[in-house]
A and B are shown apart, each in its own frame.
Chain A
Amino acid sequence: MTDETVISAQSLDLTFQTNDGPVHALKDVNLNITKGDFISFIGPSGCGKTTLLRVMADLDQPTDGTITINGVSPKAARESRAYGYVFQSAGLYPWRTIGKNIRLPLEIMGISKSEQKERVEKVLKLVELEDFEKKFPWQLSGGMQQRASIARALAFDADILLMDEPFGALDEIVRDYLNEQLLKLWHSTEKTICFVTHSIPEAVYLSTKIVVMSPRPGRIIDIIESDLPDKRPLEIRDTKEFIDIAQRVREGLRAGHSYE
């Protein structure tokens, strides 16, 4: 793994003007993400974790501070299709088959038909949905739909994957399975992944770095480097190392709350 910086934020601030007055969504956020990192953002609702992800994706604009993605502005990064974004709900079009849904960004990006076909097959294999290319979204379970949506984000082979609570709506058994799959996928593709969650075990299990955030104003409380090994069976969650890191995350979250 190189130390190449992929995402860098300096004293990032974002205030939303609402009818109830200004909401301080992000305050003085400083962060460096290096290539190949798996970063989790964890915190209670309103802590700005999703907003931070949206700023990286150029879906929200910071009011102050600087942020660069691959050394350029989020807008330039978005336009050069530097990242894939996975939303909380799969957002598959019901009138398109799974295969055609995955093709959608490729069609938009003007990729040739033959390459589209190749890529769809490749990413379907990555998320283990090879047999479902011709099926429609309603024929798939919620977990499979979310896998299809991850496949869609992988299809155009961006180096960065931004994931906003992608498994938040799924039950724990499916979530465990998808977490395992996601780690495998991360190993095989060597992408940089930013992952928003509010589950401590999920964050600890997946990440190389855990960013603990706190609300009102949304800010970073702690950044925890994980020393868990790269290969992580689900049982790792019963080891002392795992529990120690989870404990530190919990303390960070508590410290953030006692601030109020």
Chain B
Amino acid sequence: MNNAFLPVVTISTFIVLIWYSFSIVLNSSWALDKAERNDQKLSFSELVHDTWSQKKPKLPTPHQVGYEMWKTIFDKKVTSKRSLVYHGWITLSATLAGFMLGTVLGILLALAIVHDKATNLSVMPWIITSQTIPILALAPMIIVVLSSIGFTGLLPKAVISMYLSFFPIVVGMVKGLRSPDLLEIDQMKTWSASQFQILIKLRLPKSIPFLFTSLKLGMAASLVGAIVGELPSGAIAGLGARMLSGSYYGQTIQIWSALFTAAILAASLVGLISIIQAFVFKRMMIVQ
């Protein structure tokens, strides 16, 4: 932990410095144009001050984004349409619903693939194909199809989120369920264990480390899915909708704060899975 402190601080400082410099470079043309129109000459410190405090900068500075996030997370009522907590919750609920659907679907598919050769041969190629289609192209169709049969709101977003998150679960669980070696399977055979017993006593416990890796990937993918699902649906709420409306009105600070909220949300969710993982691994004597 102590060994990591210095590198972490160094890299963070470096990123912030680059960010501030780019804010100057990218926002300076606006500042210079404005000065020229007013027949002013800007000193360097005036230029820096202007580029770091514009209302609609090309690249807002970290402190502008931080202040906007503070304002919209802590100062607004959580029910307000301008609260990031409100929008975050909308996206989070679709993310969690999609994550759960994706996890269940992924595990069921993996079980079928591992136990049935025909399923392995017939379904696995389609699972891989499904991930080669850009989700941005597919999302509007999912929304249109689902709304035509009466589903709107959370469900279409959850389905898109599921579409992205089931894949790492399937791949990880297939690998995990197949991870028992020949000796372990032979051993089970000498006890005349049924396929179900081999699954419960051997395959599932052995797949746990793989499951947690998959869950973390799946969680991150779920959040991306939920945000992408908000873009084409004309949604007025959610982090995706917030980013979209920000881009309509050139509210770059709003886009960046929605973006950061999404990133922090994803990191927290993945962190939560890591905590559960540490607990389960400790109980199961799995050494990382």
A positions within 8 Å CB-CB of B: 57-59, 78-79, 81, 83-85, 87, 89, 91, 93-95, 104-105, 107-109, 136, 138, 156
Contacts and interface: CB of A to CB of B under 8 A. Distances in A.
A94 B193 contact: no
Contact of B284 (A57, A89, A95, A104): A95
B186 interface: yes
A89 B286 CA distance: 19
Nearest to A94: B285
A81 B192 contact: yes
A95 B193 CA distance: 19
Given A104-B201, A136-B285, A91 B187 contact: yes
Nearest to B187: A91
Contacts, number: 46
Interface residues of B, number: 17
A89 B201 CA distance: 19
SS of A interface (majority): loop
Contacts of A136: 285
B191 A109 contact: yes
The residue among A78, A105, A109, A136 with the most chain B CB atoms within 10 A of its own CB is: A105
Contacts of A89: 183
A107 B187 contact: no
B205 interface: yes
B201 to A, nearest CB: 6
A75 to B, nearest CB: 10
Contacts of B189: 58-59, 78
B45 interface: no
Contact of A78 (B187, B190, B197, B205): B190
A-B complex: 5 closest residue pairs judged by Cβ atoms: A95-B284, A85-B190, A105-B191, A108-B193, A108-B191
Contacts of A81: 191-192
Nearest to B186: A59
Given A58-B189, A95-B284, 10 more contacts: A59-B186, A81-B191, A84-B190, A95-B285, A104-B191, A108-B188, A108-B192, A108-B197, A109-B191, A136-B285
SS of B interface (majority): helix
Contacts of B193: 108
Given A95-B284, A95-B285, A138-B285, A87 B197 contact: no
Nearest to A58: B189
B278 to A, nearest CB: 15
Contact of B192 (A79, A94, A107, A138): A79
A104 B187 CA distance: 11
Nearest to B189: A59
17 contacts: A57-B190, A59-B186, A84-B190, A85-B187, A87-B183, A89-B183, A91-B183, A93-B202, A93-B205, A94-B286, A95-B285, A104-B191, A104-B201, A107-B201, A108-B192, A109-B191, A138-B285
B184 interface: yes
B211 to A, nearest CB: 14
B192 A87 contact: no
A51 to B, nearest CB: 13
Nearest to A110: B197
A169 to B, nearest CB: 13
Nearest to B184: A91
A184 B138 CA distance: 70
Interface in B137-187: 183-184, 186-187
Contacts of B192: 78-79, 81, 108-109
Nearest to B198: A108
A104 to B, nearest CB: 6
A85 B188 CA distance: 10
Interface string B85-111: 000000000000000000000000000
A94 B287 CA distance: 10
A58 to B, nearest CB: 8
A78 B187 CA distance: 11
A140 to B, nearest CB: 13
B280 to A, nearest CB: 10
Contacts of A156: 191
Contacts of A94: 284-286
Nearest to A59: B186
B284 to A, nearest CB: 4
A93 B153 CA distance: 46
Contacts of A95: 205, 284-286
